[in-house]
Amino acid sequence: MTLPVVPPLDRAAEPALRALIDAKAKPLGALGRIETLAIQLALIAGRPDPTADRAQLLVFAGDHGLTEAGVSSYPQAVTLAMVATLLAGKASANAFARAVGAKVMVVDAGVAADILSHPDLIEAKVRAGTRNGALEPALTLEEVRLALSRGAAIAAAAAEEADVLLLGEMGIGNSASAALILHRLGPAPLAECVGLGAGHDEAGLARKRAALDQAAARSSADQPMEVLAQFGGLEIAMMAGAVIGAAAARRPVVVDGFICGAAALAAIRLQPAVRDYCVFAHRSAERGHALMLQVLGAEPLLDLDLRLGEGTGGLLALPLLRAACALLSDLASLEDVLAGRL
């Protein structure tokens, strides 16, 4: 496996950027966290006038053998059906992307079915779904390496056409894998990581907890590569690679909710420097996401009780990135205002 090495952000320019913002025609600190976001985006871009005009959402799709253990209230076939909906432009992510002017591409990381070729489909399938992580390792280490490297390459290619990359996912059962990843890489108590996912009732949640207890008892893995192999999620592993690839290309990567957060967590455990390139879009209503954000030391931009996935939270946060860029490029200085130089 060859992944690009991501250097930490060079923060030497941070005082000058802060001075530039403080000199704008506004009270000091009046734009709060948008000012902090503007500085982050400028440091990532390596210039004082970053842009987020060209945005691309990468929706990574994959199936999970854990669905055999009853971790989801929906059948595995829904993954393929929702991929078709995304490619038809009729999913929530498509609607939101049109609203904010972002391009959507779907990545077949490991859907357990063949998908017809489509202009908006990136064919990167490692295998047709993972194995049942409650009974055996979901992936081999070689499959994890392949997913990571393909994710990094996909992000690098997307970065040639986009100023900012957004992550999304589609995969029935993937909140179960994400919970196990948070449990081991947080680390955090498993009971605090497991939530309702896509609509479980209490009986379904009990089945999910039992399956994840069985999976966790099967392996003591606590290192990122091994955790991804044991508990799987080809879309999660490929997103982790995409986080690294985006950071290496000096692009901010907008992390959606719980499942994308698990991918970011794995990427950060592999290469801690990529944390500086992540923008966390929102706090999901999924149990465990607040804990995940705490582990990552992240303060999300939005808190809207979202729990859909697909990158919808990231798309809703995109206008805030654009506003942060405009703060640096479009806002007059107080000196110019007072001197009448407008």
| pLDDT value of residue 47 | 96
Taking alpha carbons only, the member of 59, 101, 54 closest to residue 84 is 59
**Is 234:127 a contact under the CB 8 Å cutoff?**
yes
Mean pLDDT by 10 residues, the chain (342 residues): 89 97 96 98 97 98 93 89 98 98 98 97 98 97 98 98 98 95 97 79 84 95 98 97 98 97 98 98 95 96 96 98 97 91 85
Active site residues: 310
Which residue is it, tokens 């997103």?
A: 239
Domain ranges of the chain: 12-50+326-339, 55-320
Going edge to edge, which strands form the sheet with 55-62?
A: 121-123, 103-110, 55-62, 164-170, 253-255, 278-280
Q: Which CATH number fits domain 12-50+326-339: 1.10.1610.10, 3.30.43.10, 2.40.50.140, 3.30.540.10?
A: 1.10.1610.10
| pLDDT value of residue 139 | 98
243-277 burial by CB neighbour count: b if 16+ within 10 A, else e? bbbbbbbbbbbbbbbbbbbbbbbbbbbbbeebbbb
If you write DSSP's letter for every residue of 237-256 in order, what string do you get?
HHHHHHHHHHHHTT--EEE-
Quote the tokens at residue 335.
């000196």
| pLDDT value of residue 1 | 60
| pLDDT value of residue 197 | 73
Do 12-50+326-339 and 55-320 come out as alike in CATH topology?
Answer: no
For the range 37-41, what are the long-range contacts, defined as Cβ-Cβ under 8 Å and sequence gap of 24 or more?
37/279, 37/301, 37/320, 37/321, 37/324, 38/324, 38/325, 38/327, 38/328, 39/14, 40/252, 40/276, 40/279, 41/252, 41/321, 41/324, 41/325
Quote the tokens at residue 1.
């496996």
Q: Which CATH number fits domain 55-320: 1.10.510.10, 3.40.50.10210, 3.30.70.890, 3.30.9.10?
A: 3.40.50.10210
Query: What are phi and psi for residue 144, nearest 5 degrees?
Result: -65, -45
Q: Are strands 55-62 and 103-110 parallel, antiparallel or unpaired?
A: parallel
Q: How far apart are CA 250 and CA 150, in angstroms?
A: 18
CB atoms within 10 A of CB 290: 16
Q: Are strands 121-123 and 103-110 parallel, antiparallel or unpaired?
A: parallel
Q: For the chain, what's the residue count?
A: 342
DSSP label at residue 279: E
* Cis peptide upstream of residue 7 (ω within 30 degrees of 0): no
